[in-house]
Structure 1
């Protein structure tokens, strides 16, 4: 079936369905007519409708299967192909139904005659309330345009069965009576912090009352008008967004605005209107297609950009329908915690920051655009929280503690008291750490430890003044690439690097060259191995940069020109063998010569270093050290490579300990070699930001740490109570003959010696 034929078939079905919905017959008679209309239009031998009733999917109408099976055949959610479609809210398209692992044979239907199968969920308020499916005797996959026609019809069916009172709202909600007692929900910390407030749901759902268009041109004009209003809203919002200084969040909003003006998106909505849908139904139809794509996207960056498009779809749907807007439009009347499935960056900006105390998301990820904006706003965010819509009611009191990865719903008085105690302690400790800002990080036996911060945004440089850190030990330059719709040009990169150096003043900044590729894929940078099974160990970082050397040349020139008259510290990621460092070093030196040849000012000095993340590099470190000005150990990647344990796998996240003999022996050997060669060694990773782990690193002879700004205070407090020489003597013995629980031994030593490990 051609796209034109599919649109024509969808229009024919919708026209006939309009007559069915207007007819004065009972709901069963209407559904019986519907399956015949769809079957005839798609020349399908079987067409069936299953509806969710009393928690099971019941066969309500069929063309082609045994009529005796109607209201007899029932499938549980997740049972069989139909149950899988409803449970996963996904489409199935199979040339041989029995080959699917979830296939369940129901003999009373007579479906053994049919081989091919396609089914789509009937969705109402984001939940599957039924399934529409077709079958053929011959084995064949249905064309994409046929599937789209089914999905369009399923939208209209949702309206029909809701109007007929056939939707089991209780079963569709997937829950019994709502809990009323306290509940503790866990998630993933996306932006650190604590907050207390009442639950406010971000987005009341727009209920589409009419799906079939009476006048296609009138619907098109409604969409055009809504697009104009939406774009005006976004332009006005962006002009009013204030963060004090420019930062990468501005790039995020620019990308968001680009989506709003995307012609491909508006074209798809117009095509849906052509098929006979109203403006609201057309937007919802395209939005459902977007959600389907999101579920199949493993790349977090691309998935986050699809979320931006979903955010815009919601905004457009609210405008065209004239229905109630988000909670931001109504206004927050008291301290609130915002609840949402996901958020777009512009939507977060609409809220009153004085009353918005936190955000809890059903989805969300560390790379999401909204997280960049939330961090700039100083709003704590907890993501990946399951069951928020089934557990939390509008107005419930919430205690959000992103530091502990939890939100408490409807807390008891004791829970509130404990939360307030933690909040008070946190505030008190912050005050104590702030009082230490200008004190040096010196151990009790006189060892000066350099405490640096990790950064990725221009705004992050402010942490130097707030924490009293010695400099930036890791500036992740890839962030500018990840939030941009296109490859950042040299002048844009240069402005960022110069701003960072200007704001850092005389404090050192170590720029890590771009670490993209693998699981940090960019839509504008493709390669032959896009579906890597192990992206962390794939075509990324220095491997990508040396192959696509034009990208690295541009970055090198931008860094060299930005650091004119100053010291430039450059660090290469993911170095596995000395030749990779040599090649990257030579590339930078050629760009220095290029800049010098054009009479432009140069840095007074360029210092070159490398990340040690790949264990193989430790075996040839003696060959590389003479070429290095400094070395930084990236403990996050190093740990997963040493233990062959994917750090993104929740089952393995806590399995391997940073204070295990394997890690500490490895780091001790690297530290000895670096110190013997007089090459400064640092640790830049999460390990160095934990007080007990940081103490152990100092015990190995590592005296430079680059950590998150929030960790500077606690780690400095630990250092100022630590006798480094005494610890090193103990560490030597522990590593030679490890105790059964090395972590416990280190912690006990710290407690006995009154080290402030928190």
Structure 2
């Protein structure tokens, strides 16, 4: 008998039991009899989660007196292991398993073989279903399949309280209660609060058992056709559902969407008597169990791709389409998702969206770049958050400390409110410095500029009092666009930005895409995925190879800046010839416009980003060609330390205040002395008060930072005597203390200078 036939036989008999007038315990007793008989197993037992323990609720073959007496903790014994790990066990000799635990009241000592599957509801185990046999043998795959399908049906029946009486209330997954703290990785720092809203609203499966198997099959066929149409059109979308992945993800999606094995497994589940929705969920549960056993990150990513497609298929077949963005946010919201793309983030009302919590997420994801520009706190790698939070729960997001609190208690809320109030007070004090020029105590004017990347960011220029835009990331328009942005669209954006800036300067960085910022409409030059995308085919390297890309951007910038000063900066310059090649593209477009008597910029200033350490060894060669040089500390640091900042094991390992990085940065500053070149730092380092102290102490006089950091850095500057600070830094760099950060912190504290 096939697995589908076995499951269908069990489902048919279960349907008869559920239709009877028996009370809950009698129904459960009938259920274990049906399963045991169908699988010719001498023992069948159901354990359910109650008051934090797995309690024996019904059995065929074990001592009846053990029902509601035998209890195991999560992780205790074979049953506890199944529930804790959400895994299937199939053992020829149960006693040989290291987690085997004998309970004498059950009378199970004579049984050797054992198979058990978790009863899962909303990605959480609420019980376990097991069978046992006297003879040592492994159960057949068809028997395990039938058990797993039956366990899914039981979870729905239990959730709808059809198999449990009021005397034995269960710990179900649908409504976690009480305060809960989840740690994660701070992707964009900040404090925020709001109610939990799922980016992809959960699909509720109301009917599990099919009335017409053929009708359910046709529903799945139609859903597959619609999903495949969506996948075929996905190449025109900005993201492919896995935020930060690109062409290879699209190919994987196509592979799964047309995979006969996947559709066959769903059909087999329908053959067993499940509805289309329940069949998809059944196969999805199997995928989740496999995911928990996978150590290979690349293979795990592919399984996540299949999970995303399963969710898409489930939404199509159920008719529950659309994200929370389309439904609209009605209150201050903390968005909860597995992953998120930048275009999806931009669909939300920025007035209501206060923060994002991701089950996955990485520091280099496109969405994080956009969220940082929007000043929206983001917490990633918050494991289990999708199943531990309810829609509408109160959420306190502390991305400064890397945690999120669900359903906070009054004391938790009071502590958070106190921190939030203190932060708002500081922000109000910083806002008062908007029109105050940042001079040090010794009278030196420090340039404090802001980073931007969206048209809407320009409103922060006046609000923050920044001296200008030291870094406008032009790639945002490319990352959130489904196709290569046309030159006219680029021109409109750049002109709008310059109009909004007025008399203040804007430095446009040419597009930095490729590598870990891949876009679907530009194919990589290599057939395989890059091992180290941050150091790969990206930024100026890509732009020079794709000449049309840089030509279009050059023309757009030149036309947008007609009659004004244009500041252009090239990213990831490794050697002077790359700068020369990029400038030549601009010179050619300038000549083309001049020949056609187009109005030109009054002045063009060219600069480079020093992110690749090699360029520091050629400063004397490139400085005569530059009007300005910006040190990109984010990439520079990871290149210097050979440490991928997207790797959570390395993200916090190497300190920006390490003598190594500070000495390197000081050498750059000293190399610029005597040249008419504006030197600045662009990056997160300059926006942190303690790190900014170090930068000012080693010779930097211009910082380009997030708009939210402008006020705090202005306030810091006014408390500093550069002579005193520089003297201290020189001493520390000559003879580094054991903890540079602690030494600088102590120095600041002695002078009543607050740091982060």
Question: What is the CA–CA distance in structure 2 between the aligned matches of 1:385 and 1:629, rounded to whole Å?
Answer: 44
- In the alignment, structure 1 residue 612 sits paired with structure 2 residue 635: no
Partner of residue 662, structure 2 = 664
Question: What is the CA–CA distance in structure 2 between the aligned matches of 1:446 and 1:420, rounded to whole Å?
Answer: 38
- The structure 1 residue matched to 2:708, chosen from 707, 710, 723, is 710
Question: What is the CA–CA distance in structure 1 between the aligned matches of 2:710 and 2:527, rounded to whole Å?
Answer: 42
Partner of residue 736, structure 1 = 734
- In the alignment, structure 1 residue 272 sits paired with structure 2 residue 272: no
Question: What is the CA–CA distance in structure 2 between the aligned matches of 1:158 and 1:414, rounded to whole Å?
Answer: 36
1:231-242 equivalent positions in 2, closer than 5 A: none
Given that residues 448 and 703 in structure 2 are in contact (C-alpha distance below 8 angstroms), is that contact kept between their aligned partners in structure 1?
yes
Question: What is the CA–CA distance in structure 1 between the aligned matches of 2:33 and 2:393, rounded to whole Å?
Answer: 44
Q: Deviations over 1:80-128 (max 9, x none)?
A: 9997775454789x9x999xxx9879999999999xx9x9865322223
- In the alignment, structure 1 residue 208 sits paired with structure 2 residue 202: no
Distance 1:671 1:331, change over 3 A: closer
Partner of residue 436, structure 2 = 439
Question: What is the CA–CA distance in structure 2 between the aligned matches of 1:422 and 1:56, rounded to whole Å?
Answer: 40
Partner of residue 647, structure 1 = 645
Distance 1:148 1:412, change over 3 A: closer
Question: What is the CA–CA distance in structure 2 between the aligned matches of 1:681 and 1:409, rounded to whole Å?
Answer: 45
Partner of residue 551, structure 2 = 557
Question: What is the CA–CA distance in structure 1 between the aligned matches of 2:56 and 2:453, rounded to whole Å?
Answer: 53
Distance 1:265 1:78, change over 3 A: farther
Gaps of 5+ in 2: 18-25, 103-107, 228-236, 244-249
Q: Deviations over 1:155-204 (max 9, x none)?
A: 446447776559x98577599x9657xx6654444555544556778888
Question: What is the CA–CA distance in structure 2 between the aligned matches of 1:653 and 1:589, rounded to whole Å?
Answer: 37
Partner of residue 588, structure 2 = 593
Given that residues 301 and 482 in structure 1 are in contact (C-alpha distance below 8 angstroms), is that contact kept between their aligned partners in structure 2?
no
Partner of residue 746, structure 1 = 744
> 1:377 offset after TM fit, Å?
8.2
User: Which secondary structure state, in structure 2, belongs to the residue aligned with residue 454 of structure 1?
Assistant: strand
- The structure 1 residue matched to 2:11, chosen from 15, 18, 22, is 18
Distance 1:383 1:561, change over 3 A: same
Given that residues 238 and 479 in structure 2 are in contact (C-alpha distance below 8 angstroms), is that contact kept between their aligned partners in structure 1?
no
Question: What is the CA–CA distance in structure 1 between the aligned matches of 2:88 and 2:528, rounded to whole Å?
Answer: 27
User: Which secondary structure state, in structure 1, belongs to the residue aligned with residue 549 of structure 2?
Assistant: helix
- In the alignment, structure 1 residue 633 sits paired with structure 2 residue 608: no
1:193-204 equivalent positions in 2, closer than 5 A: 193-196=190-193
User: Which secondary structure state, in structure 1, belongs to the residue aligned with residue 634 of structure 2?
Assistant: helix
Question: What is the CA–CA distance in structure 2 between the aligned matches of 1:657 and 1:514, rounded to whole Å?
Answer: 25
Distance 1:217 1:707, change over 3 A: same
> 1:687 offset after TM fit, Å?
1.3
> 1:298 offset after TM fit, Å?
5.2
Does 493-502 or 447-456 show the bigger shift? 493-502
Question: What is the CA–CA distance in structure 1 between the aligned matches of 2:738 and 2:290, rounded to whole Å?
Answer: 49
Distance 1:18 1:595, change over 3 A: farther
- The structure 2 residue matched to 1:690, chosen from 684, 688, 691, is 688
Partner of residue 462, structure 2 = 465
Question: What is the CA–CA distance in structure 1 between the aligned matches of 2:143 and 2:520, rounded to whole Å?
Answer: 32
1:294-309 equivalent positions in 2, closer than 5 A: none
> 1:682 offset after TM fit, Å?
1.9
Q: Deviations over 1:562-616 (max 9, x none)?
A: 112532413222x4x52xx5246425524753674586657653614132344x4
Given that residues 611 and 634 in structure 1 are in contact (C-alpha distance below 8 angstroms), is that contact kept between their aligned partners in structure 2?
yes
Question: What is the CA–CA distance in structure 1 between the aligned matches of 2:440 and 2:583, rounded to whole Å?
Answer: 38
> 1:694 offset after TM fit, Å?
0.8
Given that residues 220 and 270 in structure 1 are in contact (C-alpha distance below 8 angstroms), is that contact kept between their aligned partners in structure 2?
no
> 1:278 offset after TM fit, Å?
1.6
> 1:456 offset after TM fit, Å?
3.2
Given that residues 681 and 704 in structure 1 are in contact (C-alpha distance below 8 angstroms), is that contact kept between their aligned partners in structure 2?
yes
> 1:666 offset after TM fit, Å?
1.8
> 1:676 offset after TM fit, Å?
4.1
- In the alignment, structure 1 residue 570 sits paired with structure 2 residue 564: no
Partner of residue 719, structure 2 = 721
Given that residues 557 and 591 in structure 1 are in contact (C-alpha distance below 8 angstroms), is that contact kept between their aligned partners in structure 2?
yes
Aligned length: 695
User: Which secondary structure state, in structure 2, belongs to the residue aligned with residue 705 of structure 1?
Assistant: strand
User: Which secondary structure state, in structure 2, belongs to the residue aligned with residue 475 of structure 1?
Assistant: strand
Distance 1:397 1:11, change over 3 A: closer
1:373-384 equivalent positions in 2, closer than 5 A: 380-384=377-381
Partner of residue 5, structure 1 = none
Given that residues 185 and 380 in structure 2 are in contact (C-alpha distance below 8 angstroms), is that contact kept between their aligned partners in structure 1?
yes
> 1:710 offset after TM fit, Å?
0.7
User: Which secondary structure state, in structure 1, belongs to the residue aligned with residue 558 of structure 2?
Assistant: coil
Q: Deviations over 1:466-503 (max 9, x none)?
A: 22223333333444444455665666555555544454
Partner of residue 511, structure 2 = 513
Distance 1:391 1:627, change over 3 A: same
User: Which secondary structure state, in structure 2, belongs to the residue aligned with residue 717 of structure 1?
Assistant: helix
Given that residues 58 and 74 in structure 1 are in contact (C-alpha distance below 8 angstroms), is that contact kept between their aligned partners in structure 2?
yes
Does 361-370 or 661-670 show the bigger shift? 361-370
1:306-321 equivalent positions in 2, closer than 5 A: 316=316, 319=319
User: Which secondary structure state, in structure 2, belongs to the residue aligned with residue 564 of structure 1?
Assistant: helix
Question: What is the CA–CA distance in structure 1 between the aligned matches of 2:42 and 2:509, rounded to whole Å?
Answer: 62
> 1:700 offset after TM fit, Å?
0.8
User: Which secondary structure state, in structure 2, belongs to the residue aligned with residue 210 of structure 1?
Assistant: coil
Partner of residue 234, structure 2 = none
Question: What is the CA–CA distance in structure 2 between the aligned matches of 1:83 and 1:386, rounded to whole Å?
Answer: 21
Question: What is the CA–CA distance in structure 2 between the aligned matches of 1:215 and 1:498, rounded to whole Å?
Answer: 61
Partner of residue 234, structure 1 = none
Question: What is the CA–CA distance in structure 2 between the aligned matches of 1:668 and 1:49, rounded to whole Å?
Answer: 70
Given that residues 497 and 559 in structure 1 are in contact (C-alpha distance below 8 angstroms), is that contact kept between their aligned partners in structure 2?
no
Given that residues 482 and 522 in structure 1 are in contact (C-alpha distance below 8 angstroms), is that contact kept between their aligned partners in structure 2?
no
Distance 1:479 1:293, change over 3 A: farther
User: Which secondary structure state, in structure 2, belongs to the residue aligned with residue 448 of structure 1?
Assistant: coil
Given that residues 238 and 520 in structure 2 are in contact (C-alpha distance below 8 angstroms), is that contact kept between their aligned partners in structure 1?
no
Distance 1:77 1:411, change over 3 A: closer
Given that residues 359 and 380 in structure 1 are in contact (C-alpha distance below 8 angstroms), is that contact kept between their aligned partners in structure 2?
yes
1:206-285 equivalent positions in 2, closer than 5 A: 207-216=204-213, 218-219=215-216, 272=266, 275-276=270-271, 277-285=274-282
User: Which secondary structure state, in structure 2, belongs to the residue aligned with residue 610 of structure 1?
Assistant: strand
Given that residues 193 and 380 in structure 1 are in contact (C-alpha distance below 8 angstroms), is that contact kept between their aligned partners in structure 2?
yes
Q: Deviations over 1:705-758 (max 9, x none)?
A: 121111111111111232223322332223223344433433344344455646
Given that residues 332 and 354 in structure 2 are in contact (C-alpha distance below 8 angstroms), is that contact kept between their aligned partners in structure 1?
yes
Given that residues 609 and 632 in structure 2 are in contact (C-alpha distance below 8 angstroms), is that contact kept between their aligned partners in structure 1?
no
1:320-339 equivalent positions in 2, closer than 5 A: 338=334
User: Which secondary structure state, in structure 1, belongs to the residue aligned with residue 435 of structure 2?
Assistant: coil
Given that residues 501 and 509 in structure 1 are in contact (C-alpha distance below 8 angstroms), is that contact kept between their aligned partners in structure 2?
no
Question: What is the CA–CA distance in structure 1 between the aligned matches of 2:673 and 2:711, rounded to whole Å?
Answer: 27
Given that residues 113 and 137 in structure 2 are in contact (C-alpha distance below 8 angstroms), is that contact kept between their aligned partners in structure 1?
no
User: Which secondary structure state, in structure 2, belongs to the residue aligned with residue 563 of structure 1?
Assistant: helix
Distance 1:320 1:623, change over 3 A: closer
> 1:432 offset after TM fit, Å?
3.0
Question: What is the CA–CA distance in structure 2 between the aligned matches of 1:308 and 1:499, rounded to whole Å?
Answer: 38
